[in-house]
Amino acid sequence: MLATQAMLEQGIHVEGINFYTGFCVEGHTHAIRKKDKAKPKRNNALWVAEQLGIKLHIIDVIDEYKDVVINPKHGYGSNMNPCLDCKCFMVRKAHEWIEEHNFDFIITGEVVGQRPMSQRRDTMPVIQRESGAEDRLLRPLCAKILPATLPEREGWVDREKLFDFNGRGRKPQIALAEKMGISDFAQPSGGCCFLTDAAYSGKLADLWSARGERRYELDDIMLLKVGRHLRPRPHFKIIVGREEGENRFLEGYRKQFTHLYTTSHPGPLVLLDGEANDDDLQLAAQLAARFSQGKMAETVRVELHEKGAAKRELDVTPLTNEEIPVEWYL
Amino acid sequence: MSHHQLDARRMLCPMPVIRTQNFVAKLPAGDTVDVLCTDPGALHDIPAWCRIHGHEIIGTQELDGELIISVRVGTPSG
């Protein structure tokens, strides 16, 4: 936002690009979970573009992004976050976009030393090089402590009006925002990607381990954001809706999964991912019963819809807390 | 002027916006599109996208938990 405003103040025409990878935190989870209904559902990229008065292009990179997540050349951060590869990928896509649409250069809001992987003095040149953007990549917020880029050398941008921010602190940015009259801003310290989340990364690692290969589809990564995930056996896991909004979201997947829910008592929708024999289905039904309002009852009736089979009913005893090993929870 | 329908049901934002953006890009000014959605976030995001790009929201309605957001395509600018 600050980098864009700095360019706008120099009279430069700027348009925004927002890449949608499927791992973005905002939007989905708020839309799904009923308890988050009160939170504003604004898309921050759209909101920022509107505040700045620029166009925004949202680009679906879900399929292309898979290779970044699955085979990151520069490895992962503390979780499954391939930050440096991600930045190289996004700047490369931005570079392709500017060539296609006759724009002259790319700007980002990066600051030297701000992030531990992708915004270090030694990794920032890697992004320029591997993205192919080279010196058409300008970082206005820290440009003065980096070599001059093409737009600066050509005089398209006045280098003297750019900034020399560095390090993890945000005080200079906050002061600049105030000077620019910007009082509301989104994501001042990252945290917008599920791959930086330890619990989410654990579920993704489990998914790959259970499948015996590192691959995913959009539905897989969406489902990892929703519900309680338990893997009672290596060959199947269950996803249990935690509240009404999640149950409604999971309902959209009923045709793709064996699913079950309690009928004698109110309870969640449970999806079963994997191959399950009769014993496994019995166990899944007992777990569904455990997470229903009949968890203290002697018997709970569960309706089971196996993929490709007629529905049937099971009367089961709910598992107790003690009977659910903590290792089952993903 | 033609009227179109775009199905973005069961998609979570920003996918309905992306679908709308890509669909509208192929249409001439004045055409109208009914975007069918189920994510309530689209009620905020599609109008925001329209404001940014010079398109007009000509109506929104909810039918049986499904949203219909009607857009009139504006004249391309810049």
The verdict on A12 touching B (C-beta cutoff 8 Å) is no
Q: What is the mean predicted confidence (pLDDT) over A273-295?
A: 96
CB A275 within 8 A of CB A236: yes
Residues whose CB falls within 8 Å of the CB of residue A218, separated by 6 or more in sequence, listed in order: A22, A62
A200-243 confidence digits (pLDDT tens): 999 999 999 999 999 999 999 999 999 999 999 999 999 999 98
Contact at CB, A60 and B15, closer than 8 angstroms: yes
pTM of the complete model: 0.88
Q: For residue A10, what pLDDT band results from cuts at 50, 70 and 90?
A: very high
CATH number for the domain formed by residue range(s) A2-194? 3.40.50.620
| Residue B43 to residue A328: CA distance in whole angstroms | 38
Q: pLDDT-derived band of residue A184, with 50, 70 and 90 as boundaries? A: confident
Domain boundaries along the sequence of chain A: 2-194, 226-328
Identify the residue whose tokens are 């929104």.
B60
pLDDT in tens, A26-73: 655 555 666 655 655 678 899 999 999 999 999 999 999 999 999 999
Contact A70, B29 (CB under 8 A): no
Number of A/B CB contacts below 8 angstroms equals: 66
Q: Cβ–Cβ of A222/B53 closer than 8 Å?
A: no
Supply the pLDDT for residue A56: 97
Mean pLDDT of A290-307: 96
* B50 catalytic per annotation: no
Task: Give residue A169's pLDDT.
Answer: 81
The residue whose two tokens read 């290792």 is A327
pLDDT tens, position by position, B9-40: 988 889 999 999 999 999 999 999 999 998 88
CA-nearest of B69, B31, B45 to A18 is B45
**Stretch A281-297: mean pLDDT, rounded?**
97
C-alpha–C-alpha distance, residues A151 and A153, integer Å: 6
Band of residue A264 on the pLDDT scale cut at 50, 70, 90: very high
Of B13, B27, B43, B57, which residue is the catalytic one? B13
Q: Does the pLDDT value for residue A97 go beyond 60? A: yes
Q: A20 to chain B: nearest residue by CA?
A: B14
Q: What is the pLDDT of residue A59?
A: 96
User: Once rounded to an integer, what is the mean pLDDT over residues B49-61?
Assistant: 96
| Cis peptide preceding B14, ω within 30 of 0 | yes
Structural domains in chain B? Answer: 3-72 (3.30.110.40)
Closest CA to A138 of A126, A129, A155, A150: A150
Q: Pick the residue of A41, A103, A256 with the most B CBs within 10 A to test the interface with B by mutation.
A: A41
Query: By the CB < 8 Å criterion, does A145 face chain B?
Result: no
Please give the residue of chain B at the shortest CA–CA distance from A43. Answer: B45
Helices (H), chain A: 2-8, 28-32, 44-52, 62-70, 83-100, 124-131, 150-153, 171-180, 198-211, 218-223, 244-251, 278-290
